[in-house]
């Protein structure tokens, strides 16, 4: 299954988590099944995500496009540089 297919499937199940802070929170709590990063995400964000995915043993994938292209792919009117696909656990509450 390609990354795009995974994203489409998670989108249909409402299992996508968007945003750096929320994705890091899901990695810390074990909710994330996998993480996807746009090619133009800031290096500091990529480094933090790499750290937390190593700790949680969660796979991290690179989206072949920019954050704007990822946002468009998701049907969002904004750029998305990081997203996570939630596992069987429920999504975390955000404020």
Between residues 36 and 88, the one the model is more confident about: 36
Going by C-alpha positions, the residue among 37, 18, 16 that lies closest to residue 87 is 16
Domains recognised in the chain with CATH numbers: 3-86 (3.30.1330.30)
Contact 39, 80 (CB under 8 A): no
What is the pTM assigned to this prediction?
0.86
- Rounded CA-CA distance 49/88 in Å is 21
pLDDT confidence tier of residue 20, bands split at 50, 70 and 90 = very high
Mean pLDDT of 9-36: 94
């Amino acid at each position: 299954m390609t990354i795009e297919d995974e994203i489409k499937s998670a989108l249909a199940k409402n299992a996508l988590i968007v945003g750096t802070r929320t994705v890091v929170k899901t990695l810390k709590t074990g909710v994330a099944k996998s993480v996807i990063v746009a090619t133009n995400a800031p290096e500091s964000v990529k480094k933090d995500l790499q750290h937390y995915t190593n700790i949680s043993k969660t796979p991290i994938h690179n989206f072949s496009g920019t954050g704007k292209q990822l946002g468009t792919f998701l049907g969002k009117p904004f750029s998305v540089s990081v997203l996570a696909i939630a596992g069987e656990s429920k999504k975390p509450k955000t404020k």
